[in-house]
Structure 1
């Protein structure tokens, strides 16, 4: 089965202020809550604290192994339409996706021949909640475990990838991993870790 994003005119540009949550982005995040204004006021009063937000109405979240997740983000920004907000939390990458993605993605992935090469995905949708990074990052925590934004929300209406686009990114990341494994097996190197891609870098 071959998967491709629905719209794929040209590689997306890397966001200029990828790690900065704007006021509009904070308003979008808190709109997932029943009483968003109260939460937004509390969050602004403690901007270095993470927040727990419900999924299923404003966004779904797909949680992926850190290395594989960064490969997915790499493919989305270099070959695809870009991503919605992306965060890291406790060593995993959190992809913010369109509502309904958590329900459809697992069944789509089961049909894909590359699915055995995709690490276990945790799909959070209706009835679930996730911890999102603080508005202002803390620098006194272990960076490997700290919650932080890779692509922070910066608008009240971010373009969120749906299940087909996320599936496409999974397949591309799996192919990249397979090619890397072949190269490593033929040309062994001292450091065989995957390339770490941070979309906050400037071009």
Structure 2
């Protein structure tokens, strides 16, 4: 099952909201902000509750498909400004950066932005507004897999590394011939 057919919600559950807020130095203030403006994107620090790996949109789709095909799936995932934001374990961003620099396959993987301690990321609204193009929050990103749990499973650096390598190799593989076009002669 790939991520695009995976049943996911387009809004953050109460438990998921609590997890997102735990990334902030002031979780109660974040929850109050979301109560007043659930359609507004937010800026949260990385390194406490999660790190974020930002990748080009199409490559991100391939990585997510690999994560689901290989079994572990993924935790929360967002789309923002043409990029896929994969939420990973705290500490995974600097480790992934080092692994990609060290291993020979780094040249196959497009440049990833690894956001860890000291970085911040813009996260989509906790609720999606669907009233029209003038609605607040439109164009501010969306959840592909919204946070649903107080402690979601987040992939580590090695899981993401292998998904990236497989996705990059799959993208470079020549297309398979259409079996219907083959004739035995």
Indicate the TM-score class for this superposition, using the shorter chain for normalisation.
Answer: 0.7 to 0.9
Q: What is the aligned counterpart of 2:58 among 51, 55, 67?
A: 67
- Structure 1 residue 16: deviation in Å? 3.2
Q: CA offsets per residue over residues 105-157 of structure 1, 9 Å max, x none?
A: 0111123333212111001111110000001124427xx95400001100000
State the alpha-carbon separation in 2 of the partners of residues 173 and 103 from structure 1.
20
Q: How many residues align?
A: 171
1:106-185 correspondence to structure 2 within 5 Å? 106-139=97-130, 140=133, 146-179=140-173, 182-183=174-175
- 1:3 maps to none
SS of structure 2 residue aligned to 1:134: coil
SS of structure 2 residue aligned to 1:135: coil
Say whether the 8 Å CA contact 1:114–1:174 is kept in structure 2.
no
TM-score normalised by structure 2 residue count = 0.85
- Structure 1 residue 28: deviation in Å? 0.4
State the alpha-carbon separation in 2 of the partners of residues 76 and 145 from structure 1.
26
1:13-162 correspondence to structure 2 within 5 Å? 16-139=7-130, 140=133, 146-162=140-156
State the alpha-carbon separation in 2 of the partners of residues 113 and 19 from structure 1.
38
State the alpha-carbon separation in 1 of the partners of residues 151 and 69 from structure 2.
22
Report which stretch shifted further, 117-126 or 14-23.
14-23
TM-score normalised by structure 1 residue count = 0.78
- 1:195 maps to none
Say whether the 8 Å CA contact 1:91–1:145 is kept in structure 2.
no
State the alpha-carbon separation in 1 of the partners of residues 51 and 38 from structure 2.
23
Say whether the 8 Å CA contact 1:25–1:155 is kept in structure 2.
yes
State the alpha-carbon separation in 2 of the partners of residues 20 and 43 from structure 1.
12
Q: Please, which runs of 5 or more residues in structure 1 have no aligned partner?
A: 1-10, 188-203
State the alpha-carbon separation in 2 of the partners of residues 171 and 80 from structure 1.
16
Q: Please, which runs of 5 or more residues in structure 2 have no aligned partner?
A: 179-185
